[in-house]
Amino acid sequence: MADLPRRRTEDRAGYPPRRVTAGVLAFGAVALGVAGVAAIGETVSDAVRSTSPVLTTVVGERTEEALVADRRGSRLVPYRVVDVELPDGSTAELRSDDLEVGSEATVYRSDSGAVFETPPEAPGPLEWAVGASALAGSAALAVGAVRAVRPRRPG
């Protein structure tokens, strides 16, 4: 049987103490866990969101700018925003290049009151994988934190 390498039992100069390493790993585990839970929560809310079509009237339009970055740098890019009047008399804004002022349009309103030009798509596998991998990474960091403070056995 081959000899297994022995684990380091003494602290070496230049390395942080085990408690510091464990603290950093624990902090990372908590931060990544919170991000993972938030990602899963948002994905679940997107999955259960229901929308209903609503007939509206387009009452106004304007141009706004958004900061867009690419490999050449960042710049402001204009986009069109329209105001639609809902059947209850309230107004909502949505980004659209197709809706004309004065026309009637069918938009989709969610349970939370958000308005969309087209029905939003259900979350795909990528959105679910991001949350799941963040939670898995958090668990791995937590295991690393526990192993960092666990007393090492000689030999």
Whole-model pTM over 0.75: no
Amino acid at 51: T
Provide the CB-side half-sphere exposure for 151 (13 A, CA): 2
Confidence of residue 142 (pLDDT cuts 50, 70, 90): very high
Q: Does residue 1 carry a pLDDT above 60?
A: no
Check: CATH 2.10.109.10 for 50-116? no
Domain boundaries, the chain: 18-47+125-149, 50-116
Contacts of 61 (CB under 8 A, 6+ apart): 80, 81, 82, 83, 101
pLDDT value for 119: 86
Six token digits for residue 104: 């009637």
Radius of gyration of the chain (CA): 26
Among residues of the chain, what percentage have pLDDT more than 90? 37
pLDDT value for 4: 63
Q: Which pLDDT tens digit goes with each residue over 13-70?
A: 777 888 888 999 999 999 999 999 999 999 998 888 888 888 988 898 998 898 999 8
pLDDT value for 34: 96
pLDDT value for 41: 94
